Structure 1
Amino acid sequence: MVNLNVFSQILSLIDRELFKVLVAKHKSDKHCKGINSWTHLASMLFCHFSSADSVRDISNGLRSTTGNLNHLGVGRAPSKSNISYINKHRTHELFKDLYFSLLDKLWQKDTHLRKDLTQLKRKVYLMDASIIPLCLSVFDWAKFRSTKGAVKLHTVLDYDGCLPVFMQITDGKVHESQRAGSYSFSKGSVVVVDRGYVDYNWLGDLDSRGCYFVTRSKTNMKYNVIKSYQSEALLEKGIIKDEIIELSGPSADRYNSKPLRLIHFWDSSTDNQYHFLTNNIQWKASLVANIYKQRWQIEIFFKHLKQRLKISSFVGTSENAVMIQIWTSLIGILLLKYLQKKAKYDWNLSNLVGFIRMNIFVKINIWQWIDDPFIRPPVKGKNGQLQIFSD
């Protein structure tokens, strides 16, 4: 008989000693009013895993585990006013540092097998931004448009594991290209972005540092064709034309006047034509198209973050409260993906989230459960009756 519920076992994945070091670094338990940083973390993770809609739901949900809170490392369930206060006043930097510490010590220590791009022996990073809409009359600090509020998540996803290695949260007005240079990529890595990031100064900087990029060209891009390749063999792979080009006009000066590669690709499934721009001259054209195709993984990540965890609505209205909810959602998705990776059962992440939500306070061995989540039907005997006694 297991004495710990599912939620307690998930929390046990977090190294308490590591957490204590971060608490001491940020002095986040100073003036804590009896609700320490661990209770705060447990409360916010409960919010995400149970899909709580308010601080009242968080408080009542934790209070319903009377007698089991000590298994969570929680002395007492916080009241709704406690949660509101600590969300407003405890620094979100604690949870930000915890996410990146868990990423290093829990997630990245294991190897991640690629389902695609196995022939590419380089680090691949997917970069994009996503807007989270907010009501401007309530979140008056989140300026976006005259009548709308929003925050924007500027994210760099490591293709191996598909979790963020960098995230910057700004107001909704900040364009993607303005934050493109915030993260420094290692030499030889591949950066995949959509055309919202096409800033020739930044692309030139990537090239000068020995990084490769794959993106889509802008419709108004001015260039001259140096070489052009067309063949039936290329067309069979969807490659209409493979060109070596050089930029012309002001764009050439901003980039560094080096040759680029422009691949015209036809997608038979959508009957659309795409134009991929890269600074790698050696790769096969089909590989370039496949690299850009993997950019969809970051869209899937944003979908999981917004739909599976509590990001579409917020339990606090201050800027710090919103930041805490976002960073704890990242901690939550890291823990869930760790369980998904370790499980023998082939979980879809959305199904895993749903099953944990239904069983969050059930006392079962989570490792056995994620390997074999369903009760198997009884074995029938030869005459069609249930086999009760074995031979």
Structure 2
Amino acid sequence: MHEGRFVFTQLMQHLPMHTFRRLVATFDSNRYVKRFACLDQFLCMAFAQLTGRESLRDIEICLRAHQAKLYHLGIRGHIARSTLADANEQRDWRIYAEFAQSLIATARRLYINEPLDIELAHTAYALDSTTIELCLSVFPWARAMHPGRGGLKVHTLLDIRGAIPTVISFSESRQHDVHMLDELVPEPGAIYLMDRAHLDFERLYRFHCEGSFFLMRTKKNLRVRRRYSHPVPDRTLIGCDQTVMLTRDVVRKKYPVPLRRVRVRDPESGECIVLLTNHFALPAATVSALYRHRWQIEIFFKWIKQHLRIKAFFGTSPNAVKTQVWIAVAVYVLIAIVRKRLQLTTSLYEILQILSVTLFEQTPLDCALRRQELQLFADDDANQLILFPD
């Protein structure tokens, strides 16, 4: 079926091109374009993400080295550094943002039954942010809290089943993380795993009223009054499990209902953390195990920073930066989709490394990505010189 087609072409066939064309028509981005359409821009930027290109000149040189193959890759336009730079500067980044969101919706359907190491009937999300440091002399619009430093803060809501990002938002690096709660639409029955930077009781009470649950660390200066202590079966893991009320009048007006306070102890290091949640039905051990899954978002940030190109940018305008970040997210989700559709056990890192060196090969995609187990036979070594005989 795929005989003669390049690996890059087969990979891009997993994209919903009808959605992409609809978005381009919605934003009218191909108007007055004759030689380098939005699809050409996306494919070039996806190629840069998959192969680890460092600059526009790098992209231009590598693609021109395969000039005869570009038509079969789906790239119809003329590859030039200035053309790609103009496209990144001028074409609306929201095309690629909404296209990535459509891929995210597809990936979530594929990973909806992804097993967890805990029994959980709820959908669980991890919420956090990471800052991409930028040079103010090159990106004067990216001002940070500290003078002389620039940055772009990326807020992410991650579905812990499959580590799929569901919401991504950008802000100035000086903006506090808690403002991200205003942009989220609480999902009834879902559990939001957060760090203490998102502790704001007025905003959390909105989540509670919408039927959502939150699980987060508390701050050291939080004052509560114990109402009831729940029985704890294993004191080596759970220090206490309590129903509490906020004591300060100002704070209690913002969150007037009881909360659950769970002290979790690490059996190896002995370090304790105190968790706060509005979910009273989960066992304390499940609460502890669930909060450990919040580290998936830290791993996600580390992965995309190490293996995708979101630290060295091909343009200096906000539009160019957001375009590159959203295409990087689309490539990440596309790899996750292909992994699930082809039923691969290979990790996303291994798939990305394989793709980086096989994009121009004419081999079936599943054969290129599937891990081949080595089988050693005794007769293979029959003609080998025995250096150390028994």
**Common fold: TM-score over 0.5:** yes
- CA deviations on 1:192-251 (whole Å, 9 max, x unpaired) are 1110000000111111111111000111101111122465x3214x00111111001121
SS at 1:381's partner residue? helix
Distance 2:163 2:265 in 1: 27
- Provide the residue aligned with 2:285 in structure 1: 286
Call closer, same or farther: CA 1:48–1:81 in 2, change over 3 Å.
same
Displacement after TM superposition at 1:385 (Å): 5.2
SS of equivalent residue, structure 1 residue 181? helix
Amino acid at match of 2:154: L
Give, in angstroms, the shift of residue 382 of structure 1: 9.3
Distance 1:273 1:111 in 2: 33
Rate the CA distance shift 1:382–1:197 in 2: closer, same or farther, 3 A.
closer
Q: Which residue of 2 aligns with 1:64?
A: 65
Equivalence for 2:379: 381
Question: Does the residue aligned with 2:245 lie in a helix, a strand or coil?
Answer: strand
1:338 aligns with 2:334: no
Separation of aligned partners in 1, 2:131 and 2:66: 35
SS in 2 for 1:95: helix
* 1:252 aligned onto 2:252: yes
CA RMSD of aligned residues (A): 1.9
Deviation at 1:7, TM superposition (A): 1.4
User: Partner of 1:358 in structure 2?
Assistant: 357
Q: Which amino acid aligns with 1:341?
A: K
Shift of 1:171: 1.4
Residues 217/383 of structure 1: CA separation in 2 closer, same or farther (3 Å cut): closer
Q: Alpha-carbon deviation of 1:108?
A: 3.1
8 A Cα contact 1:344 1:370, kept in partner: no
The amino acid of 1:29's aligned partner reads N
Measure the CA separation in 2 of the matches of 1:353 and 1:321.
Answer: 24
- Which amino acid letter does the alignment assign opposite residue 361 of structure 2? V
1:4 alignment counterpart: 5
Q: The residue matched to 1:315 in structure 2 has which SS?
A: coil
| Shift in Å, 1:109 | 3.5
- Counterpart residue number, 1:323: 322
- Alignment pair present for 1:272 and 2:271: yes
Check whether the contact 2:354–2:368 (CA below 8 A) recurs between aligned residues.
no
Match of 2:324, SS? helix
Deviations 1:74-110, CA, capped at 9 Å, x for gaps = 1134200001111100010100111112222x32332
Structure 1 SS opposite 2:87: helix
Number of aligned residue pairs: 381
- Which SS does the other structure have where 2:220 is aligned? coil
CA shift for structure 1 position 343: 4.1
For normalisation by structure 2, the TM-score amounts to 0.93
Q: How does 1:1-391 map to 2 (within 5 A)?
A: 2-104=3-105, 106-116=106-116, 118-144=118-144, 145-229=146-230, 231=232, 233-236=233-236, 238-249=237-248, 250-255=250-255, 257-373=256-372, 376=374, 379-381=377-379, 384=382
Report the more deviating stretch, 88-97 or 163-172: 163-172
3-state SS, counterpart of residue 68 of structure 1: helix
Deviates more, 1:156-165 or 1:339-348: 339-348
Q: How much does 1:355 deviate? A: 1.6
The 1:193–1:64 alpha-carbon spacing in structure 2 relative to 1, beyond 3 Å, is same
Do the aligned partners of 2:56 and 2:314 also contact (CA within 8 Å) in 1?
yes
Of 125-134 and 112-121, more deviation after overlay is shown by 112-121
Q: Mean alpha-carbon deviation: is it higher for 88-97 or for 342-351?
A: 342-351
Q: What's the % identity of the aligned pairs?
A: 26
Q: CA deviation at 1:377?
A: 5.0
Classify 1:55/1:246 alpha carbon distance in 2 versus 1 (closer, same or farther; 3 Å).
same
Deviations 1:124-171 (A, max 9, x none): 111111111111110001111311110011111122222121111111
Deviates more, 1:95-104 or 1:197-206: 95-104
The code of the aligned residue for 1:207 comes to: H
Question: What runs of 5+ residues in structure 1 fail to find an aligned partner?
Answer: 387-391
Of 210-219 and 354-363, more deviation after overlay is shown by 354-363
Note the residue ranges of structure 2 that are not aligned, 5 or more in a row. 385-390
Partners of 2:108 and 2:164 within 8 A in 1: no
Q: In the aligned structure 1, how far is the partner of 2:147 from the partner of 2:32?
A: 38
**In 2, distance between residues paired with 1:207 and 1:357?**
45
State the partner residue of 1:389. none
Which residue identity lines up with residue 280 of structure 1 in the other structure? Answer: H
Contact 2:263 2:275 in 1 (8 A): yes
Distance in 1 between the 2:282 and 2:305 partners? 35
Question: d(CA) in 2 for partners of 1:183 and 1:163?
Answer: 16
SS of the residue aligned with 2:67? coil
Q: Which residue of 1 aligns with 2:387?
A: none
Contact 1:63 1:77 survives alignment (8 Å): no
**Letter in structure 1 aligned against 2:353:** G
